[in-house]
Structure 1
Amino acid sequence: MHIRFFSILFFGLITSSLVSQTKLNGRNLPKGGNTSENDSTSTNRLKGFEKLATIDMYVEFNHVIDSTEIDTTISIKKEYKFNYLQKDNFGLMPFANIGQTYNTLSFNSADNAMIPLFGARSRHFNYLEHDDIKFYEVATPWTRLTYKTAFEQGQVLDAFFTINLTKQFNFSIAYKGLRSLGNYQNALTSTGNFRFTSNYKTKNKRYNALGYIVMQDLLNQENGGLQTEDLEDFTSGNVEFIDRSVFDPNFENAENILKGKRFYFEHSYNLIKKNDSINNDNLIIFNKVLFEDKYFQYTQTSAASDFFGDYFSSSINDKVTLEYFNTSMGLKYSNNLIGQLQLALNYNDINYGYNGIVLVSGETIPNRLKANFFGLDGEYNKKLKGFNISGKGGINLSDTFVGSYLNGTVSFKLNEDLTLLGGIYINTRLPNYNYLLYQSDYVKYNWNNVDRFKNVNTQQVRFNLYSKSLINASLDISNIDNYTYFNNEGTIVDFNNIVPKQYTNPLQYFRVKFQKEFKAGKFALDNTLMYQNVVSDEDVLNIPSVITRNTLYYTDELFKKSLKLQTGVTFNYFTKYNMNGYDPLLAEFYTQNETELGGFPRFDFFINAKVRQTRIFFKLEHFNSSMTGYNYFSAPNQPYRDFAIRFGLVWDFFL
């Protein structure tokens, strides 16, 4: 993944800024730093650049121009986000090695997609999607290095640099690389995420443009998990198997890789020339272009017939590709009376599939799904006396790729501390591509459901309450028709019986989540609790009833407040349930109703510190593993991590 090359490149870029880190104020550092304990705060991006840089002049924003200040604080939220995904992973159960997949403990039915998603969803946790890309505007060059140790001969490094060459033009370049051998045989992970962004605006701000390039490759060796006869040796804590490398997994000759390139550009022009500062009318014409080329490939030097069943070729090489092009053009009008209204016409071109057709049991499996069609989408936002009304919607003008969505919210700010939000979400679209069409060198992994599977129809209502003094709470209730999933129709070791299925009856899903932090002096207790339930005639969506995370921690400032220290213990737990199994060939999770897992505690002890613009993270992960029993799994036959000591840091440089 060329980690060394990019490390040298970025260290060279920041050499000059490293020399000037001796002062705490002035141009070297945003004045006063960021003393807020909030993860991010709103900012005013219209101030321009002054000779003395302040923190509100270092901002990031996404393609919808929601901007937040750069945050260099240390907080419990930063502790939750200091992981491979660099986001709070509550509700996700990681596998043994960093960079492997995550088992999903909770289910979010709402998304704004109107077309199928690419398959291999278990490989997409670290695959940067369109909404994950950030753009920047900074007063001085800014570099951030994020480093964390991995398992057995590896580490993860994210190196990032951004600069405004002028007040109007910014670019950023970044690369996150990982290599980790892991504690089990044939479990190496090697990933890379390269991104380049740029944005420009004219001095009168009438013309704006932004774009990015993202290139990603996520490679995992696969071993199929532990053999069933070895599970007793793992759960009993047999000392001969504490060295996990002595286990013989189901196979040691397979790997899969997800690779993708995405290019995006959008620009807009305000047709209304503003002659005074009180004129709030805007009529903006805009154009957006996105192209993505990606593929997923599973290779195995010799077929494992006892695991995946019969095969056409003893050397397995399954590869599926997707080329997706989307462009849109539209108008956005806004004023103080009607709010902001946006309408656009879009065009989509889809090319998904394989190189040739396959004949299985007298049925011809085609090799391609191709389509091109137009669509419409719109958006509305309005603020009115404490209310914030927003809505998005879209529809495909296609007979084959039928799809539409509507996502509306209304929020009301009762006071500075309390905000209420309610929303409704309606969506219909085809199932993901790998449910519709799949080909493999393994015989039973070939199917064509294009004319058999119907659209998945989802309706959801949701409510949120935000309050620092009371509680943060969320509630959503979903109804899903034609829920589509992978199901194991055999035993846990019969992977050749995993098939895509649709549940034709309505499925109801309910979940409620609470978050509250209690503080007493320098001590604090942060609590997150989720309860969820599924109502259906069959066990097609399995989830734990309760998920909880509780952190007791201590915060103090030492050495004349030059060092901020935070230390504590985090407890994670979820109730037992029929946990989804993992299929490495599909890179998907499947429903199984044979093995019940969960119900084990996970304790992590951490010490975090901040010195100037450096944040240091030290953690004892799952330190209770040998004390509370070895019956901990991330999926059937896939053990969770043993006790490990992890170290990392985040280092910011401001020139």
Structure 2
Amino acid sequence: MQYKYFYILIFCLFTSVFSAQIKLNNAYADNGQDSSSSKKSRGFKELATIDMYLQINNALDSIQVDTTLAIQKDYKFNYLQKDNFNLLSFANIGQTYNTLSYNSIDNNIIPLFGGRARHFNYLEHDQILFYEVPTPWTRLTYKTAFEQGQLLDAFFTVNLSKQFNFSIAYKGLRSLGNYQNALSSTGNFRFTSNYKTKNEKYIAKGYVVMQDLLNQENGGLESDDLNNFTSGNEEFLDRSVFDPAFENAENILEGKRFYFEHSYAVLQDKDSLSNNNINIFNKISFEDKYYQYSQTAADASYFGDAFATSINDKVKLEHFNTALGVTYSNNVIGNIEFAVNYTDVNYGYNSVVLLPTETITNRIKSNFLGVEGGYSKKYKGFRLTGKGGLNLSDTFVGSFLDGNISLKLNKDIEFSGGIAINTRLANYNYLLYQSDYINYNWYNLDDFQNVNTQQLKFNLKSQRWLNASFDLSNIENYTYFNLEETVDGLNKIEPKQYNKTLQYLRLKLQKEFKVGNFALDNTVMYQNVVSDEDVLNVPEIITRNTLYYSNQLFKKSMTLQTGVTFNYFTKYNMNGYDPLLAEFYTQSETKLGGFPRLDFFINAKVRQTRIFFKAEHFNSSFTGYDYFSAPNNPYRDFTIRFGLVWDFFL
């Protein structure tokens, strides 16, 4: 874990030397957005302006860099650096999140790696961005942590020419936490590069991502201490005096992913009315990751009997995928893409487990071919998109189809709708798991059926009226972890599959009202699950309401934003957290939620720096100590946090 500090030190020294050589331009555009340095980068003819700094996602959508201060920036200023409306954080930054609302469908057609509670800050392929900038751009993001430590994300990108860009970044966190044995220590290193020839016939891009996410685990509070917490006993307001279930465990998720994609235009007919283009492309991806749970002494009272006196569970996945395909675009027909892919997976452990009633194998291996494709077409105000994929495998049977149509009625109103269908195996840790704890050993590859999901979705975007999203999902063979009590009274976590269908409905509405310099931003979500058993538990209502004041001060040299955010969700059978699996499980014994969370904030923007000051959960002492992130795991107490985002364009 120590190498991350070396990365941060070298990166900060590099940017400091760079910035010392080039003068920053402190001019501002009239609309509140920064203008960048007036220096020209090689290959760019115009003077650099903020709209020339582009972020490009894997769908090749260009997103302008936004340095303004809006309420959405406050929502995203957190560890994950995204709006966490549907997530409930644990007590320490860098720990896991309890999920209040689920997107029940995705485009994965093979199992996902287990330990999903460790994956909230694990950067997936779709989260990696590429860049095009006229001058070097650096962004430093800093935020205080709990007790000892801090969060720092340092990023730098430059175009060495109009054709070639690279970026390098590292996000590091260390936070001791307020409870015993709750340390978080994480690091995300990423390097990206993209290149195109002057005639854009050949385009290439690739990245390297290396991540390590370590958390100490304590199992939450014991039953006796729950009364001391909920009663507000003054002797226990210092949370470090609590004795958690255990203080000798930790889990870690580490992964390395290498990705390269390139394409060549064999036909560029831009002069004709039909505008025919044919491109051949190739994609290569390799990911090597492992999850490990270790405990210096086995805890039979929490997890049950063990094969060994100390615990060291480790599982590894090697995933290789390559695709070769062709794209054809025509003004009349649209854009068509087709590819053949090859996948090789190797998941498992180093030894076989012998139980009294069965033998648990140690490996799931397979390699197979597949096909994938996509289509898109714009016509007047309509946009039609579709994509799909199919595994040509008897073991890893899987397919998906995702189709959407959007219509822009006018400058303000945009409507979209679509349907998605997916079938695939459950995640690897449902199919095969081994542990030094006897109860955590199973093999279900031959018993579990594919999870089948169909989803109907609609979206409405309108700044004048409201933003709304609706989706209705039908799920067959829903797979989950469940809490059960053994004959000796011990709680046991087991993977289960619901052999009936369930329906999951979500409706989300968002609207901001403004009167002068005051604004009220409201987001509310309604959810409903229809099933014979409580296998998917979510709160019925989630709401977030922010009342704030914003203005430009000191001759518009500073933008100020201050207000209060109210968060609330209704009580429900909240999922519990298992630290060994790093997974959440369903339980029907404890209803939690129904507690308000009030955050007071003061945000400011001065030149290219955004400053965030927040008093989190300031109502904790006078609205009752009944706030939990999961059974036996309290939510955060009142704390004051500070942070900043500093952009400079060289």
TM-score interval (norm. to shorter): over 0.9
With over 3 angstroms needed to count, the CA separation of the structure-2 counterparts of 1:48 and 1:466, relative to structure 1, is farther
Among 339, 349, 353, the residue aligned to 1:354? 349
Tell me if structure 2 keeps the 8 A contact 1:226–1:248.
yes
Unaligned runs of 5+ in 2: 35-41
Report the equivalent of 2:19.
18
Report the equivalent of 1:7.
8
Report the equivalent of 2:613.
618
- Alignment TM-score, normalising by the size of structure 1: 0.96
With over 3 angstroms needed to count, the CA separation of the structure-2 counterparts of 1:242 and 1:35, relative to structure 1, is same
- Alpha-carbon distance between aligned partners in 1 of 2:330 and 2:30, rounded to the nearest angstrom: 36
Deviation at 1:252, TM superposition (A): 0.2
Q: Secondary structure of the residue that 2:589 maps to in structure 1?
A: coil
Q: Secondary structure of the residue that 2:402 maps to in structure 1?
A: strand
- Alpha-carbon distance between aligned partners in 2 of 1:494 and 1:140, rounded to the nearest angstrom: 65
Tell me if structure 2 keeps the 8 A contact 1:551–1:570.
yes
Matched, 1:370 2:365: yes
Q: Secondary structure of the residue that 1:310 maps to in structure 2?
A: coil
Tell me if structure 2 keeps the 8 A contact 1:17–1:654.
no
- Alpha-carbon distance between aligned partners in 1 of 2:274 and 2:625, rounded to the nearest angstrom: 67
Amino acid at match of 1:24: N
- Alpha-carbon distance between aligned partners in 1 of 2:557 and 2:445, rounded to the nearest angstrom: 63
With over 3 angstroms needed to count, the CA separation of the structure-2 counterparts of 1:22 and 1:342, relative to structure 1, is closer
Matches within 5 A, 1:348-427: 348-427=343-422
- Alignment TM-score, normalising by the size of structure 2: 0.97
Deviation at 1:8, TM superposition (A): 2.1
With over 3 angstroms needed to count, the CA separation of the structure-2 counterparts of 1:355 and 1:34, relative to structure 1, is farther
Amino acid at match of 2:29: G
Matched, 1:213 2:208: yes
- Alpha-carbon distance between aligned partners in 2 of 1:277 and 1:186, rounded to the nearest angstrom: 67
Q: Secondary structure of the residue that 1:506 maps to in structure 2?
A: strand
Deviation at 1:653, TM superposition (A): 1.3
Deviation at 1:174, TM superposition (A): 0.3
Among 438, 443, 457, the residue aligned to 1:443? 438
Tell me if structure 2 keeps the 8 A contact 1:510–1:533.
yes
- Alpha-carbon distance between aligned partners in 2 of 1:34 and 1:598, rounded to the nearest angstrom: 42
Amino acid at match of 2:567: N
Tell me if structure 2 keeps the 8 A contact 1:445–1:496.
no
Matches within 5 A, 1:516-535: 516-535=511-530
Unaligned runs of 5+ in 1: 26-30, 38-46
Deviation at 1:277, TM superposition (A): 8.6
Tell me how many residue pairs correspond in the alignment: 640
Amino acid at match of 1:503: Y
Report the equivalent of 1:35.
32
Matched, 1:254 2:255: no
Amino acid at match of 2:12: F
Tell me if structure 1 keeps the 8 A contact 2:181–2:247.
yes
Deviation at 1:7, TM superposition (A): 2.7
With over 3 angstroms needed to count, the CA separation of the structure-2 counterparts of 1:242 and 1:21, relative to structure 1, is farther
What do the CA deviations read for 1:153-210 (whole angstroms, capped 9, x no partner)?
Answer: 0100000010111110000000000000000000000000000000000000010000
**Which stretch shows the higher mean deviation, 354-363 or 625-634?**
354-363
Among 230, 235, 242, the residue aligned to 2:237? 242
Report the equivalent of 1:136.
131
Amino acid at match of 2:461: Y
Deviation at 1:49, TM superposition (A): 1.6
Tell me if structure 1 keeps the 8 A contact 2:274–2:332.
no
Deviation at 1:279, TM superposition (A): 6.6
Tell me if structure 1 keeps the 8 A contact 2:601–2:614.
yes
Matched, 1:569 2:571: no
- Alpha-carbon distance between aligned partners in 2 of 1:652 and 1:547, rounded to the nearest angstrom: 34
Deviation at 1:55, TM superposition (A): 1.5
Tell me if structure 2 keeps the 8 A contact 1:48–1:57.
no
Tell me if structure 1 keeps the 8 A contact 2:33–2:50.
no
Tell me if structure 2 keeps the 8 A contact 1:464–1:473.
yes
With over 3 angstroms needed to count, the CA separation of the structure-2 counterparts of 1:456 and 1:33, relative to structure 1, is farther
Report the equivalent of 1:41.
none
Amino acid at match of 2:13: G
Matches within 5 A, 1:583-594: 583-594=578-589
Matched, 1:86 2:88: no
Matched, 1:638 2:640: no
- Alpha-carbon distance between aligned partners in 2 of 1:282 and 1:167, rounded to the nearest angstrom: 23
Deviation at 1:489, TM superposition (A): 1.1
- Alpha-carbon distance between aligned partners in 1 of 2:127 and 2:256, rounded to the nearest angstrom: 14
With over 3 angstroms needed to count, the CA separation of the structure-2 counterparts of 1:59 and 1:33, relative to structure 1, is farther
Tell me if structure 1 keeps the 8 A contact 2:304–2:439.
yes
Report the equivalent of 1:42.
none
- Alpha-carbon distance between aligned partners in 1 of 2:399 and 2:157, rounded to the nearest angstrom: 37
- Alpha-carbon distance between aligned partners in 2 of 1:213 and 1:3, rounded to the nearest angstrom: 15
- Alpha-carbon distance between aligned partners in 2 of 1:33 and 1:5, rounded to the nearest angstrom: 40
Deviation at 1:411, TM superposition (A): 0.6
What value does the CA root-mean-square deviation take over the aligned residues? 1.6
Q: Secondary structure of the residue that 1:604 maps to in structure 2?
A: strand
Tell me if structure 2 keeps the 8 A contact 1:33–1:55.
no
Matched, 1:469 2:469: no
**Which stretch shows the higher mean deviation, 380-389 or 583-592?**
380-389
Report the equivalent of 1:299.
294
Q: Secondary structure of the residue that 2:485 maps to in structure 1?
A: coil
Report the equivalent of 2:109.
114
Amino acid at match of 1:99: G
With over 3 angstroms needed to count, the CA separation of the structure-2 counterparts of 1:61 and 1:505, relative to structure 1, is same
- Alpha-carbon distance between aligned partners in 2 of 1:14 and 1:436, rounded to the nearest angstrom: 47
- Alpha-carbon distance between aligned partners in 2 of 1:21 and 1:617, rounded to the nearest angstrom: 26
- Alpha-carbon distance between aligned partners in 2 of 1:292 and 1:4, rounded to the nearest angstrom: 24
With over 3 angstroms needed to count, the CA separation of the structure-2 counterparts of 1:275 and 1:109, relative to structure 1, is closer
Tell me if structure 1 keeps the 8 A contact 2:151–2:174.
yes
- Alpha-carbon distance between aligned partners in 1 of 2:135 and 2:33, rounded to the nearest angstrom: 21
Report the equivalent of 1:40.
none
Tell me if structure 2 keeps the 8 A contact 1:513–1:528.
yes
Report the equivalent of 2:603.
608
- Alpha-carbon distance between aligned partners in 1 of 2:24 and 2:358, rounded to the nearest angstrom: 72
Among 452, 457, 476, the residue aligned to 2:452? 457
Deviation at 1:276, TM superposition (A): 3.9
With over 3 angstroms needed to count, the CA separation of the structure-2 counterparts of 1:400 and 1:23, relative to structure 1, is closer
Deviation at 1:486, TM superposition (A): 0.2
Identity score, percent: 70
Report the equivalent of 1:284.
279
Amino acid at match of 1:536: S
Tell me if structure 1 keeps the 8 A contact 2:24–2:648.
no
With over 3 angstroms needed to count, the CA separation of the structure-2 counterparts of 1:524 and 1:451, relative to structure 1, is same
With over 3 angstroms needed to count, the CA separation of the structure-2 counterparts of 1:36 and 1:559, relative to structure 1, is closer
- Alpha-carbon distance between aligned partners in 2 of 1:361 and 1:591, rounded to the nearest angstrom: 28
With over 3 angstroms needed to count, the CA separation of the structure-2 counterparts of 1:560 and 1:413, relative to structure 1, is same
Among 261, 270, 278, the residue aligned to 1:266? 261
Q: Secondary structure of the residue that 2:59 maps to in structure 1?
A: coil
Q: Secondary structure of the residue that 2:267 maps to in structure 1?
A: coil
- Alpha-carbon distance between aligned partners in 1 of 2:318 and 2:145, rounded to the nearest angstrom: 33
Deviation at 1:244, TM superposition (A): 0.2
Q: Secondary structure of the residue that 2:500 maps to in structure 1?
A: coil
With over 3 angstroms needed to count, the CA separation of the structure-2 counterparts of 1:337 and 1:155, relative to structure 1, is same
- Alpha-carbon distance between aligned partners in 2 of 1:186 and 1:343, rounded to the nearest angstrom: 51
Tell me if structure 2 keeps the 8 A contact 1:14–1:653.
no
Deviation at 1:32, TM superposition (A): 2.6
Report the equivalent of 2:425.
430
Matched, 1:339 2:334: yes
Report the equivalent of 1:44.
none
With over 3 angstroms needed to count, the CA separation of the structure-2 counterparts of 1:494 and 1:172, relative to structure 1, is farther
